[in-house]
Amino acid sequence: MVSAYVTALTTPVPQGVSADDRASSAFAQIALACTGCHGTSGQGVGSIPAINNIPESTFIRTMQEFKSGQRAATVMDRIAQGYNDRDFLELARFFRDRR
């Protein structure tokens, strides 16, 4: 998991992310950290759930629950600590319409 996270931070924006998406989202590079585990479009990989195409409120609530420890996790509780509510909103918007 850690190596996927580090790789995501140093990998160019995935093919599925258009130039318009890069320009319109200040969080495109931050979102790369998510794609290392959740897939290039947030579609989920194996047992790792999809984070695309879900309502912003669901995404934000889930991340807040990870951060507070209300939701059980193997690694997301620690990852969520590095983000604030504005980050959660921007990430939710970034992944909302991904396919």
Task: Report which of 14, 99, 6 is spatially closest to residue 52, judged by C-alpha positions.
Answer: 99
Pull the structure tokens for residue 4: 């996927």
pLDDT at 14: 53
pLDDT at 1: 47
Question: What is the C-alpha to C-alpha distance for residues 88 and 86, in angstroms, rounded to an integer?
Answer: 5
Question: What is the C-alpha to C-alpha distance for residues 44 and 40, in angstroms, rounded to an integer?
Answer: 9
Half-sphere exposure of 63 (CA within 13 A, CB side): 23
Per-residue pLDDT of the chain (99 residues; tens, 9 = 90+): 444 444 444 445 555 555 555 445 566 778 888 999 999 999 999 999 999 999 999 999 999 999 999 999 999 999 999 999 999 998 999 999 888
Of how many residues is the chain composed?
99
